[in-house]
Amino acid sequence: MTSDVPSRRDAARAEIREFLSTRRARITPDQAGLPSYGGERRRVPGLRREEAALLVGVSPQYYIRLERGDATGVSESVVDGIAQALELDTAERAHLMDLIRTAGGPAQIARRRRSPAPRSVRPTIERLVDALNGVPAMVLNGHLDVLAVNSLGRAVFSPWYGSGEPVNTARMVFLEDSAGTFFREWEKAADDTVALLRAEAGRNPYDRELSDLVGELSTRSEEFRVRWAAHDVRIHTTGVKKLHHPVVGDLDLPFESLSVDPGSSTNLVTYVPEPGSSTEAALAVLAAN
């Protein structure tokens, strides 16, 4: 067992405390169908721990121990109860399970170790990305490093490639001055970016490169630091990326994110415009240049 096990386990316990308390704060007694006692004297914005315990179906003492990070022996049924009581979505439930496994003890910690995020992709994946003519495409690992990108993807995201490579999309969102103009919905892009990194940190708490990236972004960006403290997580597989390209103007890019390998957080992301749209025409212009 390496020397970082106690610190990682303690960190996971602290994460459980912060995560569950922020999730409780979102749910009012009225939303949960509970009577609200105390009125204006209530000291918490959402559910009290005792109210959460009632909804989960466990004793207040048990829930308080869990929220303090004592995750030893927590069952799937208890996690399901918490997910239902605190209205956790799929990504939040998975994140809680990741934290519980890490905080649960040395045996579970050993099973939780994963390989570092890959720094490259298989040649067949690179060829697949290059073969997607007319569709911007890239491969991102769990750190949001761009591992592969086709020519149209590079043209669409050309502002990212002015400072050399490799490109990390989280650094682009939070550290590049042009990000506020390039992302027409910068706040959403920022929220999604942090939520993806937070989920990855839960999946692999021993990833030192990820910890270094989070430390760098926290030090250099107040916007990142505030969002990281919110403990939001997200599974981000589909949506619409809204950009303002310096050459062709506004782009509305529906995207799909597909896992490269089962259980992997390395994804192939493709951006497929609506047929006949102005975005499709703008991509044709970029492809011709």
Q: What is the pTM of this model?
A: 0.86
Q: What's the CA gap between 178 and 162, in Å, rounded?
A: 11
Tell me what pLDDT residue 45 has: 74
What φ, ψ does residue 168 adopt, rounded to 5°? -120, 120
**Hey, do 5-112 and 123-288 end up sharing a CATH topology, with the first three levels equal?**
no
Task: Count other C-beta atoms under 10 Å from residue 72's C-beta.
Answer: 11
The pLDDT averaged over each successive group of 10 residues in the chain (289 residues) is: 62 91 91 73 80 94 92 87 94 92 62 66 96 95 96 95 82 95 97 96 89 96 97 90 97 96 90 97 95
Q: Cβ(144)–Cβ(169) under 8 Å?
A: yes
Q: Residue 125 has which token pair?
A: 């994946």
Tell me what pLDDT residue 113 has: 53
Beta bridge partners of 75: none
| CATH level 3 topology of 5-112 | 434 Repressor (Amino-terminal Domain) (1.10.260)
Domain boundaries, the chain: 5-112, 123-288
- DSSP character string of the chain: --TTHHHHHHHHHHHHHHHHHHHHHT--HHHHT----SGGG--SSS--HHHHHHHHTS-HHHHHHHHTT--TT--HHHHHHHHHHTT--HHHHHHHHHHHHHHS-HHHHHHH--PPPPSS--HHHHHHHHH-TTS-EEEE-TT-BEEEE-HHHHHHTGGGGGS-SS-BHHHHHHH-TTHHHHBTTHHHHHHHHHHHHHHHHHH-TT-HHHHHHHHHHHHH-HHHHHHHHTT------EEEEEEEETTTEEEEEEEEEEESSTT-S-EEEEE-PPTTSHHHHHHHHHHH-
Nearest residue to 198 (alpha-carbon basis) of 52, 4, 23: 23
Second-level CATH architecture of 123-288: 2-Layer Sandwich (3.30)
Beta bridge partners of 183: 243
Q: What's the CA gap between 233 and 197, in Å, rounded?
A: 8
